[in-house]
Amino acid sequence: MAQDDPRTLVSTEWLASHMRDPDLRILDGSMYLPGSGRDAKAEYDAGHIPGARFFDIDDISDSRSDLPHMAPPIEKFMSRLRAMGVGDGHQVVVYDGAGLFSAARVWWLFKLMGQNDVAVLDGGLPKWVAEGRDLEDMPPIVRDRHMTVRRQAHLVKDVTQVSAASKLRDQEIIDARSAGRFRGEEPEPRPGLRAGHIPGSKNVHYASLLNDDQTMKSPEETRAIFEAAGVDLSKPAITTCGSGVTAAILSLAMARMGKDDHSLYDGSWSEWGMFPTVPVATGDS
């Protein structure tokens, strides 16, 4: 049984017992890859955890960027969350409809904006539903709430910083994509990207950190998985993936392990795989 931690991961039991807390805010942070045939907003409208607001990862992003769902400017994050009635003094719990897929990205965005009282629901909506817990299809009653944002620049990396880390090998770059995509053997879901990985990076597929019910494995188990992949946990870490979503699952796992010196490469492979001037490695190393 996972240890409940309102700053990283909480169980369905924890959420059920705190549902009536006046300062609890629940967010549905579901998003699905193109071609999945799933519509996150339509699924939210049809049924969500009582009181949940829908956090649209594609909308609450940097619309000036050509890259998918890059972290939004501070002002946009503040105004969107204020309109959702989420702000200072709230304990936020984020879940998604896949179990644990995109909710960690929302958790990371809150951390980036200096919000610490935010946790991911372990096992997400599927576990909640499997346990026979309530859903509702009504939108919540929202009252504006001010949010104070202090952007934590050290939690995010750009292509220049990752390129330097790739050359210097002074930080561990950890790729959350599947082994086939990492090795360059499977096609990328987004067209026009080269196949392979950032030179010097290590591969820890995000799914390897999850149990069959999409709950996260224990900190001891996840630590062993990182070490088995050749990750030196004494070095600062940079997480990456296809578009900066599942990388946050690796970041969440490290936070649960008590490792705080990690950042996320927001552009991830959507940027690196498109950038003509940065090198690409294939195979296992």
- Mind listing the pLDDT tens digit for each residue in 220-274? 999 999 999 999 999 999 999 999 999 999 999 999 999 999 999 999 999 999 9
How many angstroms separate the CA atoms of 123 and 118, rounded? 16
Q: Return the pLDDT at 1.
A: 52
- Mind listing the pLDDT tens digit for each residue in 125-142? 999 999 999 999 999 999
Active-site residue, selected from the candidate residues 238, 241, 245, 255: 241
State mean pLDDT over 34-47.
94
Rounded mean pLDDT of the chain? Answer: 96
Beta strand 24-28 with 9-10 is unpaired
How many angstroms separate the CA atoms of 70 and 55, rounded? 14
Catalytic residue status for 212 = no
The sheet with strand 172-175 has its strands ordered as 156-157, 262-265, 237-240, 172-175, 202-203
Look up the pTM and report it.
0.97
- Mind listing the pLDDT tens digit for each residue in 165-200? 999 999 999 999 999 999 999 988 888 899 999 999
Angle of helix 247-256 relative to helix 219-228, nearest 10 degrees, comes to 120
Tokens 């995109």 found at: 102
State mean pLDDT over 4-17.
98
CB atoms within 10 A of CB 76: 15
Q: Return the pLDDT at 190.
A: 84
Angle of helix 103-112 relative to helix 247-256, nearest 10 degrees, comes to 70
Q: Return the pLDDT at 191.
A: 85
Residue 114's Cβ-count burial label (10 Å; 0-12, 13-18, 19+) is middle
pLDDT band at 49 (very low <50, low <70, confident <90, very high): very high
Q: Return the pLDDT at 3.
A: 84
pLDDT band at 2 (very low <50, low <70, confident <90, very high): low
State mean pLDDT over 65-89.
96
Choice between 110 and 191, residue whose per-residue pLDDT is larger: 110
State mean pLDDT over 94-114.
98
Identity of the residue numbered 39: D
